[in-house]
Amino acid sequence: MATRDTSHNSDISKMKASADGSFNRLPSLFRDFIEPGGKFAPEKGRYHLYVSYACPWATRALIVRKLKGLEDIIPVTIVSPKMGANGWPFASVDAFPGAEADPLFGAEHVKDLYLRANPDYDRRFTVPFIWDKTNNTIVNNESSEIIRMLNTAFNDIIPADKATLDLYPAEHRAEIDSVNDWVYSEINNGVYRAGFATQQEAYESAVKIVFAGLDKVEKILTGKDYLVGNVLTEADVRLWVTIIRFDPVYVGHFKCNFNTIRAGYPEINRWMKALYWKNPAFKDSTDFDHIKTHYYWSHPQINGTRIVPAGPIPHIEPL
């Protein structure tokens, strides 16, 4: 067990903003790839996925794992949504409904696994990440790369109908990359830049960017079921995880309140609802209790009372 003080990396209420009050996300550090013939070969049962239902980045991985039918190949563990001074706890120390204990090492917190993989690790202890039971380390903790791996690495050992599902098809890659790029900075990370800003100007410039991004998406989705090429791609997955949290969390907690998705963005709302109600990979990866509790409980620097709002009612509208 580590004796080093890592609380500056585990306690989000101690997180430092830049001098101008803006939030800067640092790059993830474990960046290996699962690939046939590589150090991390695709094998059933060798890898373990750690996620929170609360976290949009982790939910990307949960959705793609289900879409690709990888449930038996890569088991998953759900942490408690109440991220405190030691970061994400497992159910053994915080038995929140739906949270689970760490099945591999009985770890109390996610940070214990990071420090087991690398005792000198000096970044945030984030979900999602993939653990390799053979090398006893973290393969990757960057969701954009995790979903790429899940899309292709296991194709030889899953049923053909799942193997042929390609969320990053060659003919659409350039467009997917370009959509991902601005969706990440303006929307996925944009809501965090608004919510974690510590000065008025930094907040205002961030929140305007979020809504300009949503206006762009609303136009793109008009009369369409998917963002790129009229097929489901990773671009939809990556945007969806932010949109599903928008009315329940980002409008209030992150002060992104120029409008709501349900009142102000009918095309985005239609697209979000269709994926949620018609595709179990999306609905089964969504837990509004974990989502709302996480944000409103875990950021006392933003919500000192830790009261979790009861609405919106409903969390997502019916079809």
Ligand X SMILES: N[C@@H](CCC(=O)N[C@@H](CS)C(=O)NCC(=O)O)C(=O)O
Active site residues: 55, 192
Positive or negative: CA dihedral 181, 273, 129, 39: negative
Q: What is the DSSP letter of 269?
A: H
256 and 191 in contact (C-beta within 8 Å)? yes
Ramachandran angles phi, psi of 82, nearest 5°:
-90, 90
Q: Using the minimum distance from each CB to ligand X, give the nearer residue, 79 or 221.
A: 79
142 is in an annotated binding site: yes
Can you read off the two tokens belonging to residue 240? 């969806």
How far apart are alpha carbons 286 and 288 in whole angstroms? 6
Q: Which residues 6+ apart lie within 8 Å of 237 measured at CB?
A: 60, 63, 64, 67, 147, 167
> Is the bond leading into 312 cis (omega within 30 degrees of zero)?
yes
93 is in an annotated binding site: no
Q: Which residues 6+ apart lie within 8 Å of 56 measured at CB?
A: 188, 241, 242, 245
Shortest CB 189 distance to ligand X, Å: 9
Q: Using the minimum distance from each CB to ligand X, give the nearer residue, 47 or 125.
A: 125
Can you read off the two tokens belonging to residue 37? 């013939």
Q: Which residue has the tokens 């690939």?
A: 35
127 is in an annotated binding site: yes
Positive or negative: CA dihedral 130, 136, 137, 140: negative
Residue 24 CB coordination number (10 Å):
10
222 is in an annotated binding site: no
Q: CA separation (Å) from 84 to 1, 40, 230, 300?
A: 19, 32, 41, 9
Q: Using the minimum distance from each CB to ligand X, give the nearer residue, 24 or 134.
A: 24
**Helix (H, G, I), strand (E, B), or coil: what is residue 254?**
coil
Q: In whole angstroms, what separates CA 5 from the centre of its chain?
A: 27
The contact set with ligand X (CB under 6 A) reads: 12, 28, 55-57, 87, 124-128, 141-144
246 is in an annotated binding site: no
143 is in an annotated binding site: yes
Shortest CB 58 distance to ligand X, Å: 7
175 is in an annotated binding site: no
Binding-site positions: 88, 124-127, 142-143
Binding-site positions for glutathione: 88, 124-127, 142-143
